[in-house]
Structure 1
Amino acid sequence: MKVVVGPLPTMGEFDLKDKTRRSLSGVACPVVVDGRHICLVGFDEGAEARTIAINENEYEAKKNPIDLGPNDSEMDVEAVAADDRYYYVAGSHANKRGPPCEVNEKSHRLVRIAYDPATGLPLRKSNGKLKDVEDGFDITKVLSDDLRGSVGKCLGSDEGGFDIEGMAAYGGRLYFGLRGPTATDGGGAIAYVFETGTSPSLMTQDDVRDPFHIRVASGKAVRDMASVDGGILLLLGPDDDNRDVGWSIALWKVDEEADRSSPVDTADLGRVDLSEAKRAQCDKEVKPEGMAVLTSRAEGASEVYRLAIFSDGMCDGGPMIVDAIRSAP
């Protein structure tokens, strides 16, 4: 893993309070316009999203609000994904951190927003409201019995509460990566990824499949996901026990025919060390929670993914540009 540049200075503004500006936790970038990736970003404070424009040299924050509603709700957005027509914005579906570990029903949401494929911007009506937005998904309908039973429990290994942190659209389906619950696997751990279709009509119990069991290091789980040719990149970091286990990136070669009861291995692309990224103003801490793929290129027998890594705890996400390298098998 190689840090190329960053944190990139921010042009423009989100027009949000500093606490919210420091809570960027999900990103998806489906369109490139004039050499810049147009992305939707979500925050784990409030219920608004924003758009950004980014490449490896420039980063612009847009102030136009994307209201996820309802007013004064705490959606706790933790994951954003996109296919060729829609953005998908997921709440964590997690209980509030305790005590008293209260259920946060407002985080039990998955919102689908249509965007203009020419601009990457959400489609709007003449009055500025979102033109095509769907908020009728119920994720619990597609969970296996074990995962459904973890919804509503306290976070951490003691109770094994449910916590969505990553999401990616791949091969016409949505994949959700969990920070919790996790399971032990010898000296390591198992992180869960479940999937569903991308339309409300498919999000039914007829679409239930057992989750994938992703083999990870002890204390780690999924913190974000991003689609690439041939698979999904996983940003791995501390699980809900919050141990100091660091962050890393892995490539998961998605195989729908894989045995769902057997652990799946991934290709390790290296450790993410952004400890020196903190800036003097506004930032509080560096917690990588958003990952966007800017480019992918071959170098000899290796594949190099140029990524923008965003941190919860840094104002406007404090994007760092890094190269993750997948060596030939």
Structure 2
Amino acid sequence: MLRFSIILFVTMLGASWLPATSSRAEIKIIVGPLPTAGEFDLEKKTRRSLSGIACPVVVDGKHVCLVAFDEGAEARTIAINETEYEVRKKSIVLGPADGEMDAEAVAADGAYYYVSGSHADKRNPCKVNEGSHRLVRIAYNPATGLPIRKSDGKLQDVEDGFDITKVLNDDLTRSVGKCLGSQEGGFDIEGMAAYDGRLYFGLRGPTAPDETAAGSGAIAYVFEAGTSPSLVTQDNAKDPFRIPVANGRAIRDMASVDKGILLLFGPDDDNRDVGWSIALWKVDEEADRKTPVNTIDLGPLDLSEAKRAQCDKEVKPEGMAVLGSHSEGSDEVYRLAIFSDGMCDGGPVIVDAMTAAQ
């Protein structure tokens, strides 16, 4: 077990559920980074690269989740609640040992995990990374949350080779294969959520100016794919949703909730220091795809003091897991575990994110 000496902030759970008293949204840090029980059995660089998570099942009071890394081509499972964090070493092989899937997004529905590579070119120097152009679907046991394996230990029901370019409109298709950053406008998946029978993919790039915001905002994109009967088919391509964000921001992760999809916003592919925030998007398939959708701001997310003396290098929130929710009057409070790329084992911090009091 790794022992960590720094705890950001701890408050009594009862006090943390008090309703917001101000008119602005806020995100409260409850506890973290949580100490880690167990080990991933991965080299330190990979342990610091947790970039995607999905938690479809609760077993014995803990959320069982699949986590993916943007180094190598393996995933792992974890178990987490508000006070305990257990990581497991059993490998979930996503590709060749020498491959670089650059897995940035994980989602889950009632039967499958979905793991998506970034589909991005490498950054420095800019060059094609074919290993990142992958979307893998893995069946899991709904009683345990663990991937289903055959007697030889290999995954029993895994599908690969889906071509997501079939569900991109012409503009996004042209961005695939370009270098990252706003000048080149390269394609980069960072978030994914399964919601109401569909998969939604959030992009870190490309972004566009928000022409409705008088130069003070930008547009990030979310595109979608069906999950049944075939994961990706040519005839379900639609224009992407246009998500309003602050200048310099884009989507860094997504997580489905009863009322829609939570969106984690952070720096776009220009990597400017623009901070992080969370918003709620109430998905409406009938919305006008030519205009920005409405989102509900849940407030800024500041985990800058989360870095620990041992192993951590930097704090880049890139994974968001929903541990629970409840209503406070007309508002909703979401208890979340936020994981960071750059921190060993993701360094989960537990937060409460709530809509603004009216």
Question: What is the TM-score with the length of structure 2 in the denominator?
Answer: 0.90
Q: 1:138 aligns with which of 163, 173, 182?
A: 163
Matched, 1:204 2:230: no
Match of 1:112 in 2: 137
Q: 1:128 aligns with which of 145, 148, 153?
A: 153
Write out the 4+ residue segments of structure 1 that deviate beyond 3 Å after TM superposition. Answer: none
Q: 2:295 aligns with which of 251, 261, 266?
A: 266
Q: More displaced, 192-201 or 33-42?
A: 192-201
Q: 1:50 aligns with which of 76, 93, 99?
A: 76
* 1:174-193 to 2 correspondences below 5 Å: 174-185=199-210, 186-193=215-222
* 1:210-249 to 2 correspondences below 5 Å: 210-249=239-278
Question: In structure 2, what is the Cα distance between the partners aligned to 1:48 and 1:272?
Answer: 29
Question: In structure 2, what is the Cα distance between the partners aligned to 1:229 and 1:115?
Answer: 21
Q: 2:127 aligns with which of 93, 102, 112?
A: 102
Structure whose alpha-carbon radius of gyration is higher:
2
How well do the aligned residues superpose, as a CA RMSD in angstroms? 0.9
Query: What do the CA deviations read for 1:288-321 (whole angstroms, capped 9, x no partner)?
Result: 0000000001123321100000000000000000
Query: What do the CA deviations read for 1:253-273 (whole angstroms, capped 9, x no partner)?
Result: 100000000111211000000
SS of equivalent to 1:269 = strand
Return the offset for 1:199: 4.3
Question: In structure 2, what is the Cα distance between the partners aligned to 1:326 and 1:294?
Answer: 17
Q: 1:299 aligns with which of 315, 328, 335?
A: 328
Question: In structure 2, what is the Cα distance between the partners aligned to 1:61 and 1:204?
Answer: 36
Unaligned runs of 5+ in 2: 1-26
Query: What do the CA deviations read for 1:58-112 (whole angstroms, capped 9, x no partner)?
Result: 000000000001231000000000000000000000000022x101010000000
Match of 2:315 in 1: 286
- For the 8 Å contact 2:162–2:231, the answer to whether it is kept is no
- For the 8 Å contact 1:136–1:200, the answer to whether it is kept is no
Match of 1:154 in 2: 179
Task: Tell me which protein shows more strand as a share of its residues.
Answer: 1
Query: What do the CA deviations read for 1:105-155 (whole angstroms, capped 9, x no partner)?
Result: 100000000000000000000000000000031001110010010000000
Query: What do the CA deviations read for 1:142-201 (whole angstroms, capped 9, x no partner)?
Result: 100100100000000111000000000000000000000000113100000000011473
SS of equivalent to 2:206 = strand
- For the 8 Å contact 1:301–1:327, the answer to whether it is kept is no
Counterpart of 1:136, as a letter, is G
Q: 1:4 aligns with which of 20, 30, 39?
A: 30
Question: In structure 2, what is the Cα distance between the partners aligned to 1:98 and 1:315?
Answer: 23
SS of equivalent to 1:206 = helix
- For the 8 Å contact 2:64–2:145, the answer to whether it is kept is yes
